Structure 1
Amino acid sequence: MTGFGSATGTAGETAIAVEVRSVNGRHLRVDVRLPAGGESWEPRLRELVGERADRGSVDVTIRLEDAGGEGALELDRERVEALLRALQTLREDFSLPGRVDLPLIVQAGGLLRRRTVPAAFDLDWASLEPLVVRALDELVTMREREGERLERDLLERVQGLERGIEHVEELAPRRLERERARLLEAVSELTGGRDADGERVAREVAVLADKWDVGEEMVRARAHIEAFRQLLDEPAAVPVGKRLGFLVQELHREVNTTGAKANDAAISHVVVDMKNEIERLREQIENVE
């Protein structure tokens, strides 16, 4: 799931900024951007992320700057000395009047620079860890809010599947009634209007009933939906994404089999709608941990 968290703080003369971003992904991938000298922090950062996320692409960025105040800027002595030498040479070579003074030097600009970014190896992990934890906690809070919205959407999809199951169960018996009537009419035409062999027609209908029966598929689909709901009721800290993905695969299998057995335009239309709901479920579940 997507999310963002940040935290700032200081350690001595060093200002620390931590940013954590996450986007959707089927597996956990952690990218870490560190200042020079901070490479030793990476394993600990990955461990902290792994304790809070099971899926998604997570980017962790840490920046260090001078803490500011009077020491934030410093005189670029090398530039000033080079400028003085150049101006002195210019005055002497061309016998120019006047003198090199402060206003003239200031007009040249670029004499102040920001102090060198503090080195990461000057900062201990104990100063950094609380900021990382704070940023990650903020990220988790945002992801949990998104998870609540996602859960509502998943439940709407599941309700759509339940309506589809009810519709199939309502339509399925009518196929046999129509087929029985069709067979009786066909036999009557072949026998010149004489009474059809009801027993034989009944046997044919029984064979079709067994061939077209989708009762087991619908029972299993309902069981998968019930298991799906139970997983959504799990505490937020429990990862359920992969198990939800498995149930969606099983739902697709049952609905696909129902479509293959349909032999009925109305049921086929319902199956298409159910497959669309399942595809939306599949897409959304990739965002669930």
Structure 2
Amino acid sequence: MASTKQNRVRSMTGFGRGEASLGNNLLTVEVRTVNHRFLEISNRLPKGMLSLEHKLRGLLQDKLGRGKVNITVTWTQAEGDGAVAWDHQLAESYYRVLQEVRDKFEFREPVTLSHVLAHPNLLSSGEPHLEDAEAWKILQKVTTKAIEDLVSMRDNEGEALVRDLLPRLETIRTSLRAVEKRSPERAKEAREKLQKRVAELLDGEAEVDQDRLLIEASFQAERMDATEECTRLDSHLDQFKEVLEAGGQVGRKLNFLLQEMNREANTIGSKANDVSVAREVIQLKEEIEILREQIQNLE
């Protein structure tokens, strides 16, 4: 059963944007996310909204599970109203500090306008003066819109990844079936090969002990037998598909399953001692590695 809209497999990569006007001012929120082991949030807020950072983080944590999140909030003025304000008190204070630093270290270079203007909060354009409650009301509204856009993009990319992953599971299963089909043939060939080598060594000087030969052939067949590994790998493939179809935050579960799948593939390869089986194992491991790379971007 495919995952529902509320429980989709999501990518951790996405972008969302929201806007809202307040008089001649425009508030814009942009949210960018990339893959990350946990939920890591960094933000850039206008000076007048710094006190709302904890609420903004809470809103993001409610909507997103994993990923490195970068959110940028800006105020701009409507087209045609390009007034820019500067903080007189901050400018004077910053200038005095720069002068003190210059004198302390005996720098020859004078403090210039470019040095003062380098302060990030000196100039402001389009930021209205709002009480926290009013500021949060509009910030919450615009951020929610940006998150909705972001989640939609993450959902779409997640669906595209699932469409790529499912056929790869079948490719692995096809190689696994080839290994399973080859296993009985390998045991028979190993017994015949052993019997031929023993006969060549004795060179007709003594009769071959068939019971002893059978025991030794059984030991070889057991060392070469990868039935258990094939069964477990087949089960992991079923679980992988079930997790994808269930949806939700699947990244960590799939990563664990892939570790187990890779372990089984390595064991099958170590028991191979056969060109055709080795070729299938290489195909298995290539597809498992592609799966591993792809699921790193799933939430």
Question: Could you tell me the TM-score, scaled by structure 2's length?
Answer: 0.77
Structure 2 residue 131 is the aligned partner of structure 1 residue 117? no
CA distance in 1, matches of 2:183, 2:19: 63
CA distance in 2, matches of 1:137, 1:263: 54
What corresponds to 1:100 in structure 2? none
Are the structure 2 counterparts of residues 212 and 15 from structure 1 closer, same or farther at C-alpha, using a change threshold of 3 Å? same
- 1:261 pairs with one of 254, 261, 271: 271
- Cα distance per residue 1:134-184 (max 9 Å; x no partner): 110011001100001100111122111111110110112222111111111
CA distance in 1, matches of 2:287, 2:125: 57
Which runs of structure 2 are paired with 1:118-267 in the superposition (5 Å)? 118-119=127-128, 121-122=130-131, 124-193=135-204, 196-235=208-247, 238-267=248-277
Are the structure 2 counterparts of residues 74 and 59 from structure 1 closer, same or farther at C-alpha, using a change threshold of 3 Å? closer
Are the structure 2 counterparts of residues 179 and 141 from structure 1 closer, same or farther at C-alpha, using a change threshold of 3 Å? same
| Greater relative CO, 1 or 2 (CA 8 Å, sep 6+) | 2
Q: Which moved further from structure 2: 219-228 or 179-188?
A: 179-188
- What SS does the aligned partner of 1:15 have? strand
CA distance in 2, matches of 1:74, 1:241: 48
The answer as to whether partners of 2:46 and 2:127 remain within 8 angstroms in 1 is no
- Cα distance per residue 1:188-212 (max 9 Å; x no partner): 2223246532222211111112211
Q: Which moved further from structure 2: 9-18 or 247-256?
A: 9-18
State the Cα distance separating 1:120 from its structure 2 match. 6.2
The answer as to whether partners of 1:36 and 1:120 remain within 8 angstroms in 2 is no
Are the structure 2 counterparts of residues 217 and 51 from structure 1 closer, same or farther at C-alpha, using a change threshold of 3 Å? same
- What SS does the aligned partner of 2:48 have? coil
Count of residues paired in the alignment: 248
Which runs of 5 or more structure 2 residues have no equivalent in the other structure? Answer: 1-11, 86-122
Amino acid at match of 1:142: M
Amino acid at match of 1:232: L
Amino acid at match of 2:286: N
CA distance in 1, matches of 2:255, 2:42: 25
* Sequence identity (%): 38
What corresponds to 2:115 in structure 1? none
State the Cα distance separating 1:74 from its structure 2 match. 5.2
CA distance in 2, matches of 1:54, 1:3: 13
The answer as to whether partners of 1:7 and 1:19 remain within 8 angstroms in 2 is yes
Q: Which moved further from structure 2: 24-33 or 252-261?
A: 24-33
CA distance in 2, matches of 1:117, 1:262: 70
What corresponds to 1:35 in structure 2? 46
Q: Which moved further from structure 2: 142-151 or 32-41?
A: 32-41
The answer as to whether partners of 1:16 and 1:65 remain within 8 angstroms in 2 is yes
What corresponds to 2:73 in structure 1? 62
State the Cα distance separating 1:47 from its structure 2 match. 1.9
CA distance in 1, matches of 2:65, 2:237: 24
CA distance in 2, matches of 1:31, 1:75: 27
Are the structure 2 counterparts of residues 74 and 149 from structure 1 closer, same or farther at C-alpha, using a change threshold of 3 Å? closer
Amino acid at match of 2:255: G
Which runs of 5 or more structure 1 residues have no equivalent in the other structure? Answer: 77-113
